[in-house]
Structure 1
């Protein structure tokens, strides 16, 4: 019985070696190439882009087009008692962010600039918040799942609330910042500084967000 088993194993092994030898001697008889194609182009109609990460309060702009500011979270700083000292107040918004979408497909780059007007009292426009400044921190860049583009560069800065200047929040060099990108901010670091000696009142200012269709920084 043992001898019979040994013979069967030997035959099976020999057959496998013969098949492998035949396969190694086979030659490629023919070959061919085929193509897979796709065309990407800037569409004529490009609807609004929803925020990647919605904030409270919401800041959806509803803008349409190939290069858009999609979301700008309003900065609210609450109600505070007048102090004999200069005070710094943090924004109360949840998940504040600023979002830009570049659907041009050209890799041209872009820049998001920010300016700040004077804080004016709601009932008496002659009363302004003197010496106030707004600090916007450098945030964290976030994009949609699977975006293969390199991220734009983002920055932090402080603006005087007098309408005199502006700064760059995000800058996408050529071949960067394509797709949708949100600058996610830490609300505790979005700060309004108010000097002592200002009048009581309900003040508001306008933040101007300007998207330029080329890198500038």
Structure 2
């Protein structure tokens, strides 16, 4: 019986060696190389970038304001800026701060209406990574010869957004007193600001047509003369330059 057991162990050991024997290496019989290439051409800026939802940059939108500003052209361009509407307000003899309406847009994905904060959108397709700067100024609110003396327009709670992952950019609150002095809105340093960016004032999601944006306000002194039924208008000038500070 002992001899039978030893023989069986020897057979199993031999079988294991056969099962785990290393496979033979495949012989290389030859090799060659191929190439992949691409040629970049400059974005001539003649095809504007569609505005995107500043609260969800994956969605393209169509603003409904019939007087929406004309976009600029070029590889570095200002695609869109919201007009700011404060609606009809009751005359007050006290200092009063008014809140702006939200910007009405239509989502291209499903045709639904959405109300988003006042925003500006910049596209940088230059490929130079040189950075850029966005500034704004305004003249005073006027209705004919009547002026809202001392009125101050404030844009605050700025929120940068993009489909790009990184956003090492500087944005800030803007206070405009009608003296036409330029105020910085966004400063994109070298190696930032590439692609499409929105800068929204406020981040409320789910606003409706009657909602007011506390991040965009107009403060009017009580002592300022106000003509009833007159539409006071200020012009905001947005300037995009091709280098940061």
The reply to whether TM is greater than 0.5 is yes
Counterpart among 163, 169, 178 of residue 161 in structure 1: 178
CA distance in 2, matches of 1:30, 1:61: 61
8 Å CA contact 1:149–1:178 kept in 2: the answer is no
8 Å CA contact 1:57–1:74 kept in 2: the answer is no
Structure 1 gap ranges (5+):
none
Which has the larger share of strand?
Answer: 2
**Which residue number in structure 2 is paired with residue 210 of structure 1?**
239
What SS class does the counterpart of residue 188 from structure 1 fall into?
A: strand
What SS class does the counterpart of residue 106 from structure 1 fall into?
A: coil
8 Å CA contact 2:151–2:178 kept in 1: the answer is yes
8 Å CA contact 2:137–2:183 kept in 1: the answer is yes
**Which residue number in structure 2 is paired with residue 176 of structure 1?**
192
1:127 counterpart = 2:146? yes
Aligned residues: 204
Shift of 1:140: 1.4
8 Å CA contact 1:116–1:208 kept in 2: the answer is yes
Q: TM-score, normalised by structure 2?
A: 0.72
Counterpart among 139, 154, 166 of residue 117 in structure 1: 139
| Structure 1 residues 61 and 7, CA gap change in structure 2 (3 angstroms) | farther
- Aligned residues: CA RMSD: 2.9
Q: TM-score, normalised by structure 1?
A: 0.80
| Structure 1 residues 167 and 8, CA gap change in structure 2 (3 angstroms) | farther
Which has the larger share of helix?
Answer: 1
**Which residue number in structure 2 is paired with residue 40 of structure 1?**
40
Task: Output aligned runs, 1:93-104, within 5 Å.
Answer: 93=102, 94-95=115-116, 96-104=118-126
1:140 counterpart = 2:143? no
Structure 2 gap ranges (5+):
54-60, 103-114, 203-212
What SS class does the counterpart of residue 189 from structure 1 fall into?
A: strand
Shift of 1:70: 0.4
CA distance in 2, matches of 1:8, 1:77: 94
**Which residue number in structure 1 is paired with residue 86 of structure 2?**
77
**Which residue number in structure 2 is paired with residue 190 of structure 1?**
216
8 Å CA contact 1:60–1:70 kept in 2: the answer is no
Shift of 1:185: 1.9
8 Å CA contact 1:55–1:97 kept in 2: the answer is no
CA distance in 2, matches of 1:178, 1:85: 46
**Which residue number in structure 2 is paired with residue 88 of structure 1?**
97
Please identify, of 58-67 and 188-197, the stretch whose mean Cα deviation from structure 2 is larger: 58-67
